[in-house]
Amino acid sequence: MSAGSAGDRELVAAFLAGRGEAEFRRLYAAHAPRLYLWLLRLCGGRESEAEDLMQETWLRAAEKLPDFRWEAALSTWLGGIGWNAYREASRRSRRLAAAPEESADEAGSAPDAGEPAARFDLERAVRELPEGYREVLLLHDVEGYTHEEIARMLEISAGTSKSQLARAREWLRRRLGSPARQKGRIS
């Protein structure tokens, strides 16, 4: 998530001064696009779920904002709240019933590169990743979290995070038919 800024501090201060609707809308406008895409990806592209999470995230954020200490960027903080909301919703819906390790066999269901659907549509492919894989890949490769941070967030070991990432990438390669498989990798 992007770094915080003086602009963020001003937006938050203006909002907290009176909790005005206009001030909230300015804060929302500044952060909603990034937060929404983050949640949409976590939800595998399911818009209604992402919208529910957006609402829950902003409700929690508006409540906790007076206690925000700016030890992280505001966008990171919002993303973390969104992440927690997502995890709680996932637990409720039992979509995370299987531990990441147990979902490894899902990689076997990834289509071969030769299938028509396996075009280079990375965004869609990421959304279609099996859930345990998608989380790790999004957190690590898209959002830049370390394996140690991911381990804490997912309550798994750092080693598991690494292995899940490797499987996620392999799944993506198979899904996309990435030419990188033939051109070789950095090793």
Partner 1 sequence: MSEREEGWSEMEVRALKELPRELSPRPELEQRIVAALAERGLVRARRSGRGRLGRAAAAVAAGLLLVAAGIWIGRTLPPGRARTTAPDTSPRFVLFLLRGQESDRPEEEGARVAEYRAWARGLAASGRSVSGEKLDDREERLGADGAPVAAAAAASEEEIRGYFVVSAASLDDALAVARGCPHLRHGGRIVVRPIVPT
Least distance (Å) between residue 151 CB and partner 1:
13
Which has the closest alpha carbon to 141: 119, 112, 161? 161
On the CB side of 150, CA atoms within 13 Å amount to 26
Query: Could you say whether residue 13 binds partner 1 (CB under 8 A)?
Result: no
Nearer to partner 1, 11 or 137 (CB): 137
Residues 60-99 that bind partner 1 (CB under 8 A): 62-63
Q: Are 39 and 52 in contact (CB under 8 A)?
A: no
Q: How far is CA 148 from CA 138, 141, 143, 151, 152, in A?
A: 15, 14, 14, 5, 7
Choice from 102, 123, 152, 159 touching partner 1 (CB under 8 A): 123
Q: How far is CA 78 from the centre of its chain?
A: 12
Which positions lie near partner 1, rule CB under 8 A? 2, 18-22, 24-25, 28, 32-34, 36-37, 40, 50-51, 54-55, 58-59, 62-63, 122-123, 126, 137, 140-142, 144, 146-147, 162, 165-166, 169, 172-173, 178-180, 183-187
